[in-house]
Structure 1
Amino acid sequence: MTKTYRLGIDAGGTFTDFILSDTKGDLRIFKTLSTPKDPTQAVKNGLALITAETGLSAEEIVSNADLCINGTTVGLNALITHTGAKTGLIATQGHTDSIEIRLGHKEDGHRYDPNYPPATMLVPRHLRHGIRERVLSDGSVRTPLNEDDVRAACLKFRQAGVESVAVSFVWSVLHPEHEIRAAGIVREELPGIHLTVGSQLYPQVREYTRTSTAVVNAYLAPILQRYVAAIDAYFQDLGARRPVRYFQSNGGLAPGNVVTEQSVYAINSGPASAPQAALDVARPWAEKNIITCDMGGTSFDITLTRNGKANINKNIDFLRYRIGIPMIQVETLGAGGGSIGWIDDMGLLQMGPHSAGSEPGPACYGRGGERPTTTDAHLVLGYLNPGGLVGGRLPLDVQKARAAIKTHLADPLGISVERAAYGMFTIVNVNMVNAIRRVSVERGYDPRDFVLMGAGGATGAHITALAREMGISKVLVSKLASGLCAYGQIISDVKYNHMAPAPLRLHGAEAAKTLNDLFTSLEARGREDLSADGFSEGEISVSRTLDMRYVGQVHECTVEIGAFDVTLSTLEDIKAAFHARHKELYTYDEPHNAVEVVNVESTVTGHLTKPEHMHVAPGKSAARALKDHRDMVFNADGVAQNTPVYDGGALGAGDTLHGPAVIEEVTTTIVVEPGWTVTLHETGTYLIEADTAPGVSRRQAALAVA
């Protein structure tokens, strides 16, 4: 009987991760260096690696796969490096500069800095064209659409070589006819051009957010279309039975045509799958409050789930661009294994945000990198196997790591190489802890109420240090940790978000009927999409949110409600949910004040069958897995202590170790500091617990080094 496979691919800045599962619960992880100049090459290299290790050809895997899923950084990289498509904007006359005015907003930390540079505009001013038309806030037309203006804009776009166009008019969500007609003219005048219509992509109140979201989508669409076309063609040549699914920033899967049309949803597609994976890994312990830390070669990504649900952000500034669509909240920090250490003008040691990436990589990779990185520090501290990473396929050079740290950090600071390396390690930890606080403390959550989940190839070296700093006493690290996001992809579902404006007060039967009809209409669209994807009614679920505020407020907050009929009586339940959420966010509520809705959203999910968990055979003795001892540094004094090193592949379920110790898996290394105990669970997850309640101790170490 032929096996059925499921393949998850997560392309990161340094490594591309592959998770391959079959119907019997056999899950395997593979890793290859990313190829930023041609992301499809990393996919080909990874499949070749799988063939070499399993004997299964790429054709055999793909043709027998029920799903092949891809999480990609192509869109993110284009936005970071400003290498997206040449884009034009058609907007209401007088509003073409809204994306530059940005509501007068400056990012936190720079509000009073006159020297802080403005954001780079994705659409330069000469490619923004104002159109004579105007719709009022009640949806009535004050000025009809001037079609000659649209044609004139198209002529200029053609002359300028524009690849993609965004159309966004004022109050188009209440009267979309002007945008729809303008889009029709663009298609007539510029056949084959990529086109984003604001009221269709993001049908929500707020002109600046809608316009900015449309511009970002238009900027990325041609890039994603070329990438999707290349990936789809490659997998079709391998005999794929179903189209490749792509992971979206909202935490769900979508086919390539959806990702191409709604490219803005693919920006954070990689780390957005972490919450789903974390919940699955933590299920044996019934843990639903989880902070997931994913440290790869380039960045450190943090996500948070509370009561089994991931934080969702809407209407946020991402890389300085306002994006309205719902996205899994991912706090990203320039702190990865490739983060470069340097000394600032005040003579203080700093880490990142610049990264050596995969080309040339850390100094210890021997690929031409000369600057000291976090990975070099790990090697000098004794945490990493000098024999190499990824099962020895990536050899490491200790002497080059020491030389880089000595030349650029230790000698200028007048300290030993070991102290400098531990200083690098500690400062990276402090930076990461600050980022963890942004998704927890700053949102009203106490991190001590959460489990810390390790993900990414480099997190294992920091995980107990981070937990100690945050006061967290329970840590989980899966054997699949370095590919946790790829694992999250293969256990995720297909998801569509449908939105609509709904400016009304929550009062009376008419308001209830309006909301109920709106939700019903949105969900019918979602069910139709999923039905076309082959889902039956029993495999579909719905969740609903409302953007609400007190009458007179400027900003609204998002409130999740049940998928019940909205009636006069359930309106009171909705208002109660809003009061509770408002109090949770802002510490107060106003039950006496009138409440109004601004926008509504329905999330329609098609549920897929999930692969079986990994299964680890019972252990006989942890001592059987002891493979070596290495000198390792666990304190700012730089003094090493002889520490046991264990082969993770030789450990069995129930085996227990006490820190200090290091566990070497093929694609990650777990550092268990003194004062922690680790036990391997039968599902292939390491449970690491503090022997005593952790306290804040690393801050002093960081100050001592500085």
Structure 2
Amino acid sequence: MRSKYRLGIDAGGTFTDFVLAEQGGDVQIFKVLSTPNEPTKAIRNGLALIEEETGVSPRDIVSNSDLCINGTTVGLNALITHNGAKTGLIATEGHEDSIEIRLGHKEDGYRYDPDYPPATMLVPRHLRRPISERVLSDGTVRTPMDEEQVREACRYFIAEGVESVAISFVWSVLHTDHEMRAAEIVREMMPDVRLTVGSVLYPQVREYTRTSTAIVNAYLAPILQRYVEAIDGYFRELGSKHPVRYFQSNGGLALGRVVSDQSVYAINSGPASAPQAALDVAAPWGDTNIITVDMGGTSFDITLTRDGQANINKNIDFLRYRIGIPMIQVETLGAGGGSIGWIDEMGLMQMGPQSAGSEPGPACYGQGGENPTTTDANLTLGYLNSDGLVGGRLPLDVDKARAAIKAKLADPLGISVEKAAYGMFTIVNNNMMNGIRRVSVERGYDPRDFVLMGAGGATGAHITALAREMGIAKVLISKLASGLCAYGQILSDVRYNYMAPAPLRLEGAASAARLDELFKGLEARGREDLKDDGFAEEDISIRRSLDMRYVGQVHECTVEISPFEVTETSLEKIKDAFHARHKELYTYDEPRSAVEVVNVESTINGHVAKPTRMKIAPGKGAAAAIKGHRDMVFSADGTARSTPVYDGGALGAGDTLTGPAVIEEVTTTIVVEPDWTVTLHDTGTYVLTAATGDGTSAKAQTMAEA
């Protein structure tokens, strides 16, 4: 039985979003400034704001919630700022420098740049301790482990004040005894240290990826442990009857103890919930091909969902560190509302990636910021209300915005403030479009086949401009858009990934039996873990994937399959899925070539009850919601035109308006460019459609042709 409330919290770089859903279907969104140096303070401030606006105390909310879910940027911030724990590595002798060699990799765009600096090592050279041991690729032991060297490494770590230790040996996934024994010694000699064992965290073939993943996990584990303990303790004080769930980068929920042990899964947890929210918002129209764009104060996040499935990345370089675990593909740019405008050495205007963040913030915040930002440009162009953001709780100073643009951009370039502001707007849009292309065009998808979903408090000001440039004719923006990721959290299921190495060819009964045994073993563990977590068998579902390649290839691709008994006959079904995926990715396949598996993975989901969608009462006509007019700029010449401003709270289901216009919601502002039509749906979603050349909407034209 559902409790009265469900609470989702998404901590971003500038704002922390709260979504409170009541059992009857009422869903409310709240925003407070993030407190990066004290993350739990923002949660306290947010719950205090909810009490102020609803009269319901934090204790009543938490004690009457069936789920309290937290998406956090604590791990991400620690990785960005290199402010993680002091970490030591125990590695096979001769392989302790694999994380620095990086398989000879150099980032795209800098491959031939001799001045591009190397990545900062999370474990400095002196804290990488080599151990004499060696396992061969068939799992046999060539050199037994020297236990005294492990003890010597521990003594050195203790002397150096190491907080966290990672263990990663060559081919440990085929013979785990050495890593397990080393772990016993570390626990014996360093009982208070956080310990990450590579073959446990990421039991997959590829030594560099496994070692790097283990190091990132160890680097973040003490940070996440302290964060989880603080959050869990605070919610227990408020009378929580259920443990806090934490959102993971794989798109699912997990308990705090899991996040503490597997901290690498929490790196990009905030934006990873966007696909789930987007699918729910788009469900009334049956849209399952969705590009979701989330522009906050600091960053611009992009996710893509095709046929109802979010893009999943594995074995990627994230912030220059190789991470093997599956993560929702999130393309993140330094293109938020706080992105700073500047002039490069060529005399050209640029936007970001530097951000003013929340402290001091854009110049218009009046908190000491002097650099012109995207928010300052939008305010100068007339898109934002100078009365303030977040329902007026954050007033904006247009004079300070104009002064910053004039001093730093307009005067040096010899142009008007309005032209400079529109230039800033256009450049940041171009940056965002490049990111959209990376998750769509560069993966073989045509963005014109997708719906564009707006998320984040700043996205609404740019959404129609982005859609116009990308050729996307339909945009959806929920009234919950500025907290869409927090909304996605309260819709999401518990999800765990279980992995195993499987170096074998897809040939013969023995290979089929081995795959079947591996999958069933992983899934038995998953079912047991979810049942211990309170899930019934009927609430559990499974997805499988295999990392596969043609024999002789260096790299593999991930192929998803549904659960079925793997027999010699069904191996053909797996091969067909691989050929199809290979052709989709690389435009060709080789059906006559032998296929081999490298790794297998089972994703186990525990399904939670979904909250009821909000329901909007019928409107009285859009004209009744006009609250005034404001001069706005919609062209590069800087010419302003009087534009109607609509009160989003006064619009009802069925109300329709045409651009140019601005719709002001409490936590977001939607800029409707000329030649766009907007209709508010009864689920609280604005449907924006682009007009065709004859002035009719693209949707109407399609219906007429049909």
Q: Could you say which TM-score interval applies, normalised by the shorter chain? A: over 0.9
Distance 2:234 2:625 in 1: 41
Structure 1, unpaired ranges of 5+:
696-706
Equivalent position of 1:325 in the other structure: 325
Alignment-derived partner of residue 334 in structure 2: 334
Runs of 4+ aligned structure 1 residues displaced above 2 Å come to none
For the residue of structure 1 that corresponds to 2:236, the secondary structure is helix
Check whether the contact 1:471–1:694 (CA below 8 A) recurs between aligned residues: no
1:55 aligns with 2:55: yes
Measure, in 2, the Cα distance between the counterparts of 1:515 and 1:2: 39
Identity over aligned residues, as a percent?
A: 79
In structure 1, C-alpha distance between the alignment counterparts of 2:590 and 2:154, rounded to whole Å: 50
What residue in structure 1 maps to residue 219 of structure 2? 219
Could you tell me which residue of structure 1 aligns to residue 71 of structure 2?
Answer: 71
Taking the aligned partners of 1:637 and 1:339, their CA distance within structure 2 comes to 23
Matches within 5 A, 1:536-547: 536-547=536-547
In 1, Cα distance between the equivalents of 2:133 and 2:508?
Answer: 35
- The residue type paired with residue 124 of structure 1 is P
Give the whole-Å Cα distance in 2 for the aligned partners of 1:137 and 1:568. Answer: 25
Query: Structure 2: how far apart are the matches of 1:390 and 1:583?
Result: 47
1:192 offset after TM fit, Å? 1.4
**Matched residue, 1:346:** 346
- How big is each residue's C-alpha offset from its partner over 1:61-120, in whole Å with a ceiling of 9 and x where there is no partner? 000000000000000000000000000000000000000000000000001111100000
1:496, distance to aligned residue in structure 2 (A): 0.4
Alignment of 1:412 with 2:409, yes or no, is: no
Corresponding position of 1:475: 475
Matching of residue 165 in structure 1 with residue 165 in structure 2:
yes
Query: 1:500-546 deviations in whole A, cap 9, x for unaligned?
Result: 00000001111111000100000011101100110000000000000
What is the distance in 2 between the residues matched to 1:662 and 1:355? 26
* Amino acid of the structure 2 residue aligned with 1:625: A
Alignment-derived partner of residue 134 in structure 1? 134
Shift of 1:186: 0.2
Contact 1:456 1:484 in 2 (8 A): yes
Which residue of 2 is the match for residue 513 of structure 1? 513
Whole-Å separation in 2 of the counterparts to 1:2 and 1:187? 42
CA separation of 1:3 and 1:178: change in aligned 2, threshold 3 A? closer
Q: Which amino acid aligns with 1:618?
A: P
Give the SS at the match of 1:646.
Answer: strand
Instruction: Identify the residue that residue 608 of structure 2 maps to in structure 1.
Output: 608
- What is the match of residue 698 of structure 1? none
Is the Cα contact below 8 Å between 2:296 and 2:337 reproduced in 1? yes
How many angstroms does 1:620 deviate by? 1.4
Distance across 2 between alignment mates of 1:694 and 1:180: 70
Contact 1:224 1:260 in 2 (8 A): yes
8 Å contact kept, 1:618–1:682: yes
SS in 2 for 1:20: strand
TM-score, structure 2 normalization = 0.98
Q: How far apart in 1 are the matches of 2:393 and 2:314?
A: 42
Q: 1:454 touches 1:475 (CA, 8 Å); kept in 2?
A: yes
CA distance in 1, matches of 2:509, 2:175: 25
1:447 aligned to 2:417?
A: no
Written as runs of structure 1 = structure 2, the 5 A alignment for 1:31-46 is 31-46=31-46
Matched with 1:359 is 359
What secondary structure does 1:542 align onto? strand
| Equivalent position amino acid for 1:476 in 2 | L
How far off is 1:131 after superposition? 0.3
CA distance in 2, matches of 1:560, 1:693: 42
Per the alignment, residue 303 of structure 1 pairs with: 303
SS at 1:583 equivalent: helix
SS in 2 for 1:287: coil
User: What is the aligned partner in structure 1 of residue 702 from structure 2?
Assistant: none
| Partner SS for 1:434 | helix
CA offset digits 1:255-280 (Å, max 9, x no partner):
00000000000000000000000000
Residue aligning to 1:258: 258
Shift of 1:2: 11
User: TM-score, normalising length from structure 1?
Assistant: 0.98
1:442-461 Cα shifts (integer Å, max 9, x gaps)? 00000000000000000000
Matched, 1:652 2:657: no
Please say if residues 2 and 23 of structure 2, whose CA atoms lie closer than 8 Å, have aligned partners that are also in contact: no
1:406-432 CA deviation, whole Å, 9 max, x = no partner? Answer: 000000000000000000000000000
For this pair of structures, how many residues does the alignment match?
695
Q: CA deviation at 1:551?
A: 0.3
Partner of 2:550: 550
Alpha carbons 1:472, 1:694 under 8 Å: kept: no
Aligned position for 1:244: 244
CA deviations 1:173-195 (Å, max 9, x no partner) are 00011000000000001111100
Pair 1:626-2:626 in alignment: yes
Structure 1 match to 2:193: 193
Offset from partner CA, 1:380-421 (integer Å, 9 cap, x none): 000001100111000000000000000000000000000000
Cα deviation 1:626-666 (Å, max 9, x = unaligned): 00100000000000000000000000000000000000000
CA distance in 1, matches of 2:76, 2:345: 31
The structural deviation recorded for 1:693 is 6.9
CA distance in 2, matches of 1:159, 1:3: 51
User: In structure 2, the residue corresponding to 1:192 is in which secondary structure?
Assistant: coil
Match of 2:670 in 1: 670
Counterparts of 1:257-296 in structure 2, within 5 Å, are 257-296=257-296
1: CA distance between counterparts of 2:692 and 2:221? 52
Alignment of 1:591 onto 2:595: no
Q: Secondary structure at the match of 1:281?
A: helix
Structure 2 portions without partners, runs of 5+: 696-706
CA distance in 2, matches of 1:253, 1:631: 45
Give, in whole Å, the separation in 2 of the partners of 1:274 and 1:2: 23
CA distance in structure 2 between the partners assigned to 1:277 and 1:239 by the alignment: 28
Contact 1:469–1:694, Cα closer than 8 Å, also in 2: no
The residue identity in structure 2 corresponding to 1:197 is V
Secondary structure class of the residue paired with 1:123: coil
More off after superposition, 563-572 vs 333-342: 563-572
In 2, the alpha carbon distance for the partners of 1:135 and 1:214 equals: 19
Mapped contact 1:151–1:185 kept (Cα < 8 A): yes
Render the CA deviation track for 1:210-266: whole Å, top value 9, x for unaligned.
000000000000000000000000000000001100000000000000000000000
Q: Which deviations, in whole Å up to 9, do the C-alpha atoms of 1:362-394 show, x marking residues without a partner?
A: 000000100000000000000001100111000
3-state SS of the aligned residue for 1:419?
helix
Shift, 1:3, TM fit: 6.0
| Matches of 1:594 and 1:45, distance apart in 2 | 59
Residues 92 and 134 in structure 2, CA contact (< 8 A), matched pair in contact too? yes
Match of 1:433, SS state, is helix
Work out the CA distance in 1 between the residues paired with 2:2 and 2:522.
40
The 3-state SS of whatever aligns with 1:264 is: helix
**1:363, 1:565 → 2: CA distance?**
61
Whether contact under 8 Å (1:473, 1:694) holds in the other structure is no
